[in-house]
């Protein structure tokens, strides 16, 4: 069975916005893996300014917490996005996982790293990034930010920026979306910006084992890709990027087009958890 997975990170989504989106997708039978932080810290850093309580809600928000329990019952997956949007020590990371379990009744299946990665984001320094990233100090056993063993023991799926694919790297088989390394199941994701091209390629291939794991931010105002970003960002209100802008009529159009794709190409909507368990 062909699989379509749509995942989003919680950046710049307040509780009501977040829950409305999940409800609209759920009503159309499209189920999301949404990555959520435990809380929003007040910190004078890039991460503290990038997401804060004025524009983003975490699990410490009662409205979001209650709504996500209902969303999970509807069929959506709640992924772990860190204990907060800022750097988490090992102890803080563990505490966030335990609090997640108290809310949802079980440990999270999927862990999605948050924030920029100096290996993949030019111009960002280590101090701009979450120190528990596996590419920074998360794999350093001597660091207070060491969490690699926790990821190995607790999570069945993990995503880091190194596993963000370009449109030229689409796996031909379902198993190509999962990379097992160091006792961690890493998942590959592609930006929803590339979903337009994937649809065209899918029509030509007609492969019964093909899949797509999309990555977006429902709270962002659009993303055009690094090569076109500077010019198109100036006109983003006039030319919103398809599948990277989730507001107003564009939201309804995107959902309708995804539903049409699923119905006419033989794809089934799955969460990351469902996708991993089916392979």
pLDDT tens column, 203-216: 776 677 789 999 99
Q: What is the C-alpha to C-alpha distance for residues 86 and 50, in angstroms, rounded to an integer?
A: 10
pLDDT score recorded for residue 5: 98
CB atoms near residue 227 (< 10 Å): 8
pLDDT score recorded for residue 104: 98
Q: How big is the CA angle at 78 (ends 73 and 81), to the nearest 5 degrees?
A: 165
pLDDT score recorded for residue 50: 87
Q: Looking at the predicted structure, is the pLDDT value of residue 37 above 70? A: yes
pLDDT score recorded for residue 220: 84
180 phi/psi in degrees, rounded to 5: -90, 120
pLDDT score recorded for residue 228: 46
pLDDT score recorded for residue 123: 66
Count the residues in the chain. Answer: 279
Q: What is the C-alpha to C-alpha distance for residues 77 and 33, in angstroms, rounded to an integer?
A: 5
Q: Looking at the predicted structure, is the pLDDT value of residue 139 above 50? A: yes
Band the pLDDT of 72: cuts 50, 70, 90: very high
Report the chain's mean pLDDT, rounded to a whole number: 89
Q: Give helix then strand counts, H and E, for the chain.
A: 9, 11
Q: How big is the CA angle at 21 (ends 17 and 22), to the nearest 5 degrees?
A: 120
- How much is the average pLDDT of 64-75? 98
Q: What SS3 state is found at 101?
A: helix
Give the CA diameter of the chain.
52
- How much is the average pLDDT of 41-58? 91
Q: Looking at the predicted structure, is the pLDDT value of residue 236 above 50? A: no
pLDDT score recorded for residue 231: 47
pLDDT score recorded for residue 126: 80
pLDDT score recorded for residue 144: 98
pLDDT score recorded for residue 121: 61
pLDDT score recorded for residue 202: 80
Residue of 56 and 223 predicted with greater confidence: 56
**Of 65-79, 129-143, 226-240, minimum mean pLDDT range:** 226-240
pLDDT score recorded for residue 122: 67
151 phi/psi in degrees, rounded to 5: -60, -40
Q: pTM for this one?
A: 0.91
Closest C-alpha to 19, from 60, 53, 69, 55: 69
């Amino acid at each position: 069975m062909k699989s379509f997975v749509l995942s989003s990170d919680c950046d710049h989504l307040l509780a009501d916005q977040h829950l409305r989106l999940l409800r609209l997708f759920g009503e159309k039978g499209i189920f999301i893996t949404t990555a959520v932080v435990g809380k929003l810290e007040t910190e004078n850093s890039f991460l503290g300014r990038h997401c804060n309580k004025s524009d983003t809600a975490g699990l410490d928000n009662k409205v979001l917490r209650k709504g996500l329990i209902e969303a999970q019952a509807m069929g959506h997956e709640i992924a772990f996005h860190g204990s907060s949007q800022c750097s988490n020590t090992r102890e803080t990371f563990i505490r966030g996982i335990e609090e997640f379990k108290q809310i949802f009744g079980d440990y999270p299946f999927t862990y999605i790293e948050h924030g920029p990665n100096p290996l993949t984001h030019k111009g960002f320094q280590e101090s701009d990034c979450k120190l528990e990233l596996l590419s920074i100090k998360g794999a350093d056993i001597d660091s207070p930010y060491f969490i690699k063993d926790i990821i190995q023991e607790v999570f069945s799926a993990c995503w880091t920026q190194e596993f963000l694919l370009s449109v030229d790297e689409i796996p031909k088989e379902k198993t190509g979306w999962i990379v097992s390394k160091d006792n961690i199941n890493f998942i590959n994701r592609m930006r929803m910006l590339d979903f337009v091209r994937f649809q065209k390629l899918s029509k030509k291939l007609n492969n019964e084992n093909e899949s797509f794991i999309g990555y977006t931010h429902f709270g962002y105002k659009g993303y055009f890709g690094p090569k076109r970003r500077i010019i198109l960002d100036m006109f983003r209100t006039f030319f919103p990027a398809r599948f990277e802008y989730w507001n107003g009529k564009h939201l309804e159009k995107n959902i309708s087009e995804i539903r049409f794709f699923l119905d006419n190409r033989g794809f089934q909507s799955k969460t990351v958890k469902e996708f991993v368990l089916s392979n």
